[in-house]
């Protein structure tokens, strides 16, 4: 059995939003996400979990990057990611996608300032360009912003 690391409780000023940068990768890094079907399933999963707001995101062939903030500061990120991946998996299995869809672990980073959000976003939005999928980030159809997240 795989033991998960325990999350350290976070302390932030009461007037500051909690924003995480999250990366979820497909099982064995299969390139199955950069298409209209997966894009629709991912966006639908985000909509079905209204207790969290997704900001900017980029869906790559084998992983998805997104910024997310709980409406309740006590929101459990691990439970949210589990629910998000479950919704996406169920939707895409109906379309014949292979199982398992996701790697067990996911990467997350608590953002500490508006500057780190902007810096991370500038790096993430260049992923399709660095991968040779498009010439400019604006040309990648599987990226955007759902809610404006403010630190």
Q: Is residue 15 part of a domain?
A: no
Q: The domain containing residue 120 runs over which residues? A: 20-135
| Total count of domains within the chain | 1
Q: What is the pTM of this model?
A: 0.88
Reference 149, options 54, 7, 40; nearest CA is: 54
- 26 is a domain residue: yes
DSSP 8-state symbol, 137:
G
Residue 8 belongs to a domain: no
Residue 27, domain CATH: 3.30.70.1290
The reply to whether 126 falls in a domain is: yes
Mind listing the pLDDT tens digit for each residue in 54-98?
A: 999 999 999 999 999 999 877 899 999 999 999 999 999 999 998
CA distances from 83 to 23, 36, 93, 100, 137 (A): 15, 21, 15, 15, 29
């Amino acid at each position: 059995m795989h033991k998960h690391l325990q999350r350290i409780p976070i302390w932030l000023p009461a007037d500051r939003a909690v924003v995480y940068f999250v990366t979820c990768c497909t099982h064995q890094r299969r390139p199955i996400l950069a298409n209209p079907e997966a894009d629709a399933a991912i966006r639908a999963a985000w909509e079905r979990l209204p207790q969290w707001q997704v900001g900017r995101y980029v869906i790559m062939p084998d992983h998805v990057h997104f910024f997310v903030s709980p409406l309740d500061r006590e929101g459990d990120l691990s439970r949210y990611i589990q629910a998000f991946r479950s919704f996406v998996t169920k939707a895409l299995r109906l379309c014949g996608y292979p199982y398992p869809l996701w790697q067990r672990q996911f990467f997350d980073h608590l953002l500490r300032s508006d500057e780190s959000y902007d810096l991370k976003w500038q790096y993430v939005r260049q992923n399709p360009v660095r991968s040779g999928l498009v010439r400019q980030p604006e040309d990648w159809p599987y990226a955007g912003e759902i809610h404006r997240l403010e630190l």
